[in-house]
Amino acid sequence: MANKIWLNEKILNADENHIHHSNTGFTTGIGIFDSLLCIDGAPQFIEDHYQRIKHDTAVILRQNPTQLSLSLFQDTIQTLLNKNNLEEGTARIRTSVTGGMQARPLAAIEDLQILISSGVAVPSDQLPPIEAIIITDYPRIAGCLLENCKRIDYSRSYAARMDAIKKGGNEAILTNTKGHIACGATSNIFIEENDTLITPPLSEGVLAGVTRKNILKTRKSTEEIISIERLLKADNVYLTNSFIGLQPIKVQE
């Protein structure tokens, strides 16, 4: 049975051609995405992920994704898990929203294109230890609201991670335009000082991560600026996202 995807309210075979070559996701990188963890068929923090999709679509594409209600989002996830035999174990749901086809570059977007796919996710306890390298060559922009959104363009994160791998690590920690610590390549960052978790505020140009949000709600934690020196002196350092949870890491410059 072919893998199934959901595209603009239709269930389709994933291995067929569906996306036009002039889609904004290809031509100009205008779009957002979200990755959601499912455990044994149960989506984790689904309402938080749905609200992030709505928020990021409004900020980046200047549109309200009215065609994707929360109930439709929930039903689509369950349908894909069922059709792709992913109702047991850990699975990844990826939602991508682009501007579809544009009459010309940077023209106002008229029709959103929403794609939801599913696949196997590696359980967090099976992931290798994280050896992170601080990379300062590709800073995130402090004070930029676009940085809080999960945009399709991950070229900066990719470049940083590749540099980290060349230096002997397997993950990058990015700084921002003020020289402060911002986040991981695909994650938020927390340090631990005196049993308190500390993460940079959104104004530092970091992604508004769902796991970050829930840690700030449920754990002894706060938002503060983190310098490189402070990071290196911290009692513990963690990276967080929907698939690794609160993962302890080792850091070097």
The pLDDT tens digits of the residues spanning 98-118 come to 999 888 888 889 889 999 999
Phi and psi for 131 in degrees, rounded to 5?
A: -110, 105
Predicted TM-score (pTM) of the model is: 0.94
Distance between CA 147 and CA 64 in Å, rounded?
A: 19
Q: What share of the chain is helix, strand, coil (3-state, %, to 5)?
A: 30, 35, 40
What pLDDT, in 10s, does the model give residues 154-174? Answer: 999 999 999 999 999 999 999
Beta-carbon contacts of 40 under 8 Å, excluding residues fewer than 6 positions away, are 87, 88, 89
Angle at 141 (CA atoms; ends 197, 107), nearest 5 degrees: 130
Kindly provide the b/e burial profile for residues 63-96, where b requires at least 16 CB atoms within 10 angstroms of the residue's own CB: eebeebeeeebeebbeebbebbebeeebbbbebb
Q: What is the pLDDT of residue 253?
A: 82
CATH code of domain 130-252: 3.20.10.10
Helical segments of the chain, H only: 24-27, 46-60, 70-83, 155-166, 210-218, 228-233
Q: Where in the chain is the domain with CATH 3.20.10.10?
A: 130-252
Average pLDDT, the chain: 96
Give every residue of the chain whose pLDDT is below 70, as ranges. Answer: 1-2
One of 3.30.470.10, 1.25.40.10, 3.30.365.10, 3.40.50.10710 is the CATH number of 4-121, namely 3.30.470.10
Q: What is the pLDDT of residue 137?
A: 98
Query: Which of the 8 DSSP states describes residue 107?
Result: P
Q: Where in the chain is the domain with CATH 3.30.470.10?
A: 4-121
